[in-house]
């Protein structure tokens, strides 16, 4: 070797850059184009690689890892099918603002565009489903690109970033360059510091409000645990009611009397009516998603609206707001707490008392009530019992997508941020199990439970092999109603009970399936056995599939039918006939 030739290959540089970015774990699957990276990983001990069984699962696992730690999740997949399989996970991370760096292999630069073996236009395919992406065309740009990618993924509104790496770039040699601190990007400069005067205006509006409500979302979780602490402090200082989005659960303790529960399509009666009747709406880190607003023309019609968000494009997108504030939720909340303490505003206590009386009236409707008999397990009951058994120990919950997800959001109580991982924006069936693996990797001793449906779990069931390999004691808690429950519910309510293709024919025997992968399978469909099964699941220090046979006809209520307004909720099965869904609503998803 000539003395002037640098000794480091692109693949070695990459691994060094990842370590410098404090990456400890990579979720991936090897293939031809990324063999040099796998070779570099083989030759070192700092970076741990977790071999998944499908690239989609690698991204979801990285999401679970990221959401439960606040770090960037890292994915490594090969070119072509490796990259295209990752697309669902990337889109999921984009919709839920999860920081991910996904390294994709690519055919050598001289073959790009030649329809080479396992070639795909990865940057083209992933452009709309990433926050940003890069194709690294020469090794001298590799280290810098990796550092920039981590900065882009974790700063501002977080999101997934793809780095496409042609094989020749991985094999060429170059000197390493360490990350620059502080990072200064030439065009990407997210605004994180909120305008102080605007924060004063928030406090002034709050002081005048008669019927205020906080509506907070995943932005508070993404701003770090300190943001959730500040939110809790601020909400308690004001005495105002608060509701969370699906993504925001855990940012405010669910057991606090000021908490109204989740809002939106399957949110509580009190949360949705508070949104409808409030005169001041304080949105922090939520985005007026269609699951939240219902019919937009009748969304919170009487309120002055404040919106604090780190992403200017989320403001005034769906709902016109009166006081838009761009900034990081933690910094905004810090400012608000300071200003509130300094100014000690006199709030209208008489109006607050009347507002709480009204809210307590709505609470009396007990919108989450259900009737548990002695024969059949109600899914809500299974979750209430699950929560009873886990509430005093450190636990993390992930979910798949559907009825079980909404019941989990309604019946499990989230006291802390970063302990609840669910696919909110994209609604990805198959998310929960691999996400739970990622959580378990980050928190080896914690109790990690994927609340699943029997349909969703089939979408990434191959990962049983991964949990077996790494002895991850993930618990899969299946609420088995033998239907794609949410599809069946909509067919019942909106399509005349024609259950087209929603019955889960030929389900596996989940107990034997678990055993086939060296896990433990448990099953019951008797209310009397439920507690025993849950206790056993917690006791077993291995992966467990729990197959709970539940009421097949149970629907998830409350429900705001699509296209309806917040006051137009279906509270239970008896409510349904009175309120047919409009044709306009039928078109909506």
Give me the residues that bind another protein (CB under 8 A), please. Answer: 123-124, 127-128, 131-132, 135, 152, 185-188, 297, 311-313, 315-317, 319-320
Beta carbon of residue 251, minimum distance to another protein (angstroms, whole number)? 24
- DSSP character at residue 495: S
For 332-382, what is the HEC assignment? Answer: HHHHHHHHHHHHCCCCCHHHHHHHHHHHHHHHCCCCCCCCCCCCCECHHHH
**Facing residues of 559 across strands?**
570
Beta carbon of residue 149, minimum distance to another protein (angstroms, whole number)? 10
Beta carbon of residue 128, minimum distance to another protein (angstroms, whole number)? 5
Peptide bond into 182 cis (omega under 30): yes
Q: Which of 16, 21, 27, 55 is catalytic?
A: 55
Which residue reads 């940057």 in tokens? Answer: 123
Q: Which of 16, 71, 131, 167 is catalytic?
A: 167
- The residue among 468, 144, 194 whose CA lies nearest residue 306 is 194
| 3-state class (DSSP) for residue 272 | helix
Tokens of 473: 């004691």
Collect all residues with Cβ–Cβ distance below 8 Å to 260 and sequence separation of at least 6: 213, 241, 242, 243, 268, 270, 271, 274, 359
Residue 548 — φ and ψ, nearest 5°?
-100, 110
| 3-state class (DSSP) for residue 329 | helix
Q: Tell me if 546 sits within 8 A of 476, measured CB to CB.
A: yes
Q: Which of 46, 117, 341, 526 is catalytic?
A: 117
The verdict on whether 117 is a catalytic residue reads yes
User: Sheet holding 160-166: strands in order across?
Assistant: 48-51, 25-28, 73-77, 100-106, 160-166, 132-135
Beta carbon of residue 353, minimum distance to another protein (angstroms, whole number)? 33
Peptide bond into 469 cis (omega under 30): no
Beta carbon of residue 417, minimum distance to another protein (angstroms, whole number)? 25
Beta carbon of residue 160, minimum distance to another protein (angstroms, whole number)? 13
The verdict on whether 535 is a catalytic residue reads no
Q: Which of 247, 458, 484, 486 is catalytic?
A: 486
**DSSP-H helix ranges across 164-253:** 167-171, 196-208, 218-222, 225-238
The verdict on whether 482 is a catalytic residue reads no
Q: Tell me if 39 sits within 8 A of 11, measured CB to CB.
A: yes
The verdict on whether 406 is a catalytic residue reads no
The verdict on whether 486 is a catalytic residue reads yes
Q: State how far the Cα of 573 lies from the Cα of 586, in Å rounded to an integer.
A: 19
**DSSP-H helix ranges across 96-224:** 122-126, 142-154, 167-171, 196-208, 218-222
Beta carbon of residue 462, minimum distance to another protein (angstroms, whole number)? 31
Nearer to another protein, 15 or 135 (CB): 135
Residues assigned a catalytic role: 55, 117-118, 167, 486
């Amino acid at each position: 070797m000539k003395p002037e030739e640098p000794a480091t290959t692109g693949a070695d540089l990459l691994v060094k850059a990842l370590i410098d970015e404090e990456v400890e774990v990579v979720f991936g699957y090897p293939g031809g184009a990324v063999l040099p990276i796998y070779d570099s990983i083989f030759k070192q001990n700092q970076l741990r690689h977790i071999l998944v069984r499908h690239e989609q699962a690698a991204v979801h696992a990285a999401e679970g890892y990221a959401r439960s730690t606040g770090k960037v999740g890292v994915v490594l997949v090969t070119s072509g099918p490796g990259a295209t399989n990752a697309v669902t996970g990337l889109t999921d991370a984009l919709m839920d603002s999860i920081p991910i760096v996904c390294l994709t292999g690519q055919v050598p630069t001289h073959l790009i565009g030649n329809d080479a073996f396992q070639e795909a236009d990865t940057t083209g395919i992933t452009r709309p489903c990433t926050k940003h992406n890069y194709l690294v065309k020469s090794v001298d740009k590799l280290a810098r690109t990796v550092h920039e990618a981590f900065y882009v993924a974790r700063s501002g509104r977080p999101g997934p970033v793809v780095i496409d790496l042609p094989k020749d770039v991985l094999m060429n040699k170059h000197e390493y360059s360490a990350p620059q601190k502080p990072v200064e990007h030439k065009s990407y400069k997210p605004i994180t510091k909120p305008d102080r005067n605007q924060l004063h205006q928030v406090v002034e509006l709050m002081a005048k409000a008669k019927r205020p409500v906080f509506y907070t979302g995943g932005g508070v979780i993404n701003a770090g645990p300190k943001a959730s602490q500040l939110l809790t402090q601020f909400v308690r200082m004001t005495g105002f009611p608060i509701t969370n989005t699906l993504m925001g659960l855990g940012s405010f303790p669910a057991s606090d009397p000021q908490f109204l529960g989740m809002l939106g399509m399957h949110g509580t009666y009190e949360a949705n009516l508070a949104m409808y009747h409030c005169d001041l709406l304080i949105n922090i880190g939520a985005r007026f998603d269609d699951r939240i607003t219902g019919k937009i023309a009748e969304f919170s019609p009487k309120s002055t609206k404040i919106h604090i968000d780190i992403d200017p494009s989320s403001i005034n997108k769906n709902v016109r707001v009166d006081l838009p504030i761009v900034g990081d939720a933690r910094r905004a909340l810090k400012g608000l707490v300071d200003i509130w303490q300094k100014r000690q505003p006199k709030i209208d206590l008489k109006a607050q008392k009347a507002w709480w009386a009204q809210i307590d009236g709505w609470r009396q409707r007990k919108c989450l009530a259900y009737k548990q008999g002695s024969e059949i397990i109600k899914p809500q009951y299974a979750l209430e019992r699950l929560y009873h058994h886990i509430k005093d120990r450190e636990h993390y919950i992930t979910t798949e997508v559907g009825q079980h997800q909404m019941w989990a959001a309604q019946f499990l109580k989230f006291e802390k941020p970063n302990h609840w991982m669910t696919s909110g924006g994209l609604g990805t069936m198959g998310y929960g199990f691999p996400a739970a693996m990622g959580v378990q990797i980050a928190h080896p001793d914690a109790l990690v439970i994927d609340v699943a449906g029997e349909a969703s779990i089939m979408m990434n069931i191959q990962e049983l092999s991964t949990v077996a390999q790494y002895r991850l004691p993930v618990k899969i808690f299946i609420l088995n109603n033998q239907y794609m429950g949410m599809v069946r519910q909509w067919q019942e309510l909106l399509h005349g009970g024609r259950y087209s293709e929603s019955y889960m024919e030929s389900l596996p025997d989940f107990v034997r399936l678990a055993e086939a992968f060296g896990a433990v399978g448990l099953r019951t469909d008797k209310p009397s056995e439920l507690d025993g099964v849950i206790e056993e699941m917690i006791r077993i220090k291995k992966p467990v599939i729990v197959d709970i046979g539940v009421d097949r006809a149970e629907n998830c209520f409350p429900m705001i039918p699509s296209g309806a307004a917040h006051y137009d909720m279906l509270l239970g099965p008896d409510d349904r006939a009175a309120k047919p869904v409009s044709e306009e609503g039928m078109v909506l998803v």
